[in-house]
């Protein structure tokens, strides 16, 4: 199949009746795998790297193949950690906003251009994913954000007062043996701000030293065809080291994790030309 300049990618029927999804309140043990032919197509035709192709959830990958998707910008990054000095006796030291260890967490993202279903508007799909390579010290409720500047002209689709065309999911490999349990897909963001982005929440389940955790977030956005430019889309993961869950705030760059002395995080940037 040949490359297309504008690709019809309808990753989900937003009634979400697609077979293979977990029930709204259920779980599903991952059994289906992509074939070598499908993996080759994702690399050679869609434009993903081999690692990205293998990391894609099966339901997303198959739809990308069916709709002849093409990558606009993509990548993954393994993080470095900042280790603060221990407090000296009698001193009070504020721990800086920290990142997560390179050997602990992997983060990535992709943006696709898709065929628009709205007249005189372009449509994009933004996808981000994470995987804990080691079990975190605290299994709390983490968050992941997709943020973009409001000046870009991008906006979120809504219906009935809610953001639509969204999904995020958490999965757990309890024994670290590749047997992933997929928890229910959530079709509404945990947080959102108009023309600024969305967030997903991930309730990390109790685990042992062998357990791994992963998840993804995906959101469609629109922009008037009359607008054009180049922007950064910021994907960010946040993890609290004590009770509670990360909060999100709107900055000039869009929705992202609020920095605090007890929150570990790492941003990843994508570039979108439109």
The residue ranges of the chain whose pLDDT is under 50 are 1-25, 79-96
Q: Is residue 192 part of a domain?
A: yes
Contacts of 150 (CB under 8 A, 6+ apart): 194, 195, 196, 254
Q: Is residue 253 part of a domain?
A: yes
Q: Is residue 28 part of a domain?
A: no
Q: Give the pLDDT confidence of 226-237 residue by residue, as tens digits.
A: 999 999 999 999
Q: Give the pLDDT confidence of 160-171 residue by residue, as tens digits.
A: 999 999 999 999
pLDDT reported for residue 26: 55
How many domains does the chain divide into? 1
Q: Is residue 266 part of a domain?
A: yes
Length of the chain: 274
Can you read off the two tokens belonging to residue 106? 């992997």
pTM (2 d.p.): 0.80
Q: Is residue 256 part of a domain?
A: yes
Q: Give the pLDDT confidence of 88-143 residue by residue, as tens digits.
A: 333 323 334 567 666 778 888 998 888 888 999 999 989 999 998 878 878 899 99
Q: Is residue 172 part of a domain?
A: yes
Residues 105-131, buried b or exposed e (16+ Cβ, 10 A)? bbbbbbbbbbebeeeeebbbbbbbbbb
Quote the domain boundaries for residue 150.
Answer: 69-273
Question: CA 201, 202, 206, 207 torsion: positive or negative?
Answer: negative
pLDDT reported for residue 99: 74
Q: Is residue 53 part of a domain?
A: no
């Amino acid at each position: 199949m040949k490359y297309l300049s504008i690709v019809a990618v309808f990753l989900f029927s937003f009634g979400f009746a697609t077979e293979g999804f977990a029930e709204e309140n259920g779980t599903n043990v991952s059994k289906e795998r992509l074939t070598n032919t499908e993996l080759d197509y994702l690399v050679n035709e869609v434009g993903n790297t081999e690692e990205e192709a293998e990391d894609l959830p099966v339901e997303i990958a198959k739809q990308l193949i069916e709709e002849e998707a093409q990558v606009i910008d993509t990548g993954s990054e393994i993080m470095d950690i900042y280790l603060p000095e221990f407090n000296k006796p009698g001193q009070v030291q504020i721990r800086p906003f920290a990142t997560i260890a390179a050997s602990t967490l992997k983060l990535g993202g992709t943006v696709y251009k898709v065929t628009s279903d709205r007249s005189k508007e372009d449509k994009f799909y933004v996808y981000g994913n994470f995987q804990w390579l080691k079990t975190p010290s605290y299994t709390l409720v983490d968050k992941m954000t997709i943020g973009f500047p409001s000046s870009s002209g991008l906006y979120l689709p809504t219906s009935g007062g809610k953001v639509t065309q969204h999904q995020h999911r958490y999965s757990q490999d309890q024994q670290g043996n590749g047997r992933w349990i997929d928890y229910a897909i959530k079709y509404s963001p945990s947080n959102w701000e108009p023309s600024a982005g969305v967030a997903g929440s991930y309730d990390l389940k109790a685990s042992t030293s062998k357990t791994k955790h992963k998840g993804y977030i995906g959101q469609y956005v629109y922009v008037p065809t009359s607008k054009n430019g180049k922007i950064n889309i910021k994907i960010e993961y946040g993890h609290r080291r004590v009770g509670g869950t990360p909060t999100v705030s709107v900055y000039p760059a869009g929705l992202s994790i609020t920095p605090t002395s007890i929150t570990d995080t790492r941003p990843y940037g994508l570039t979108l030309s439109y």
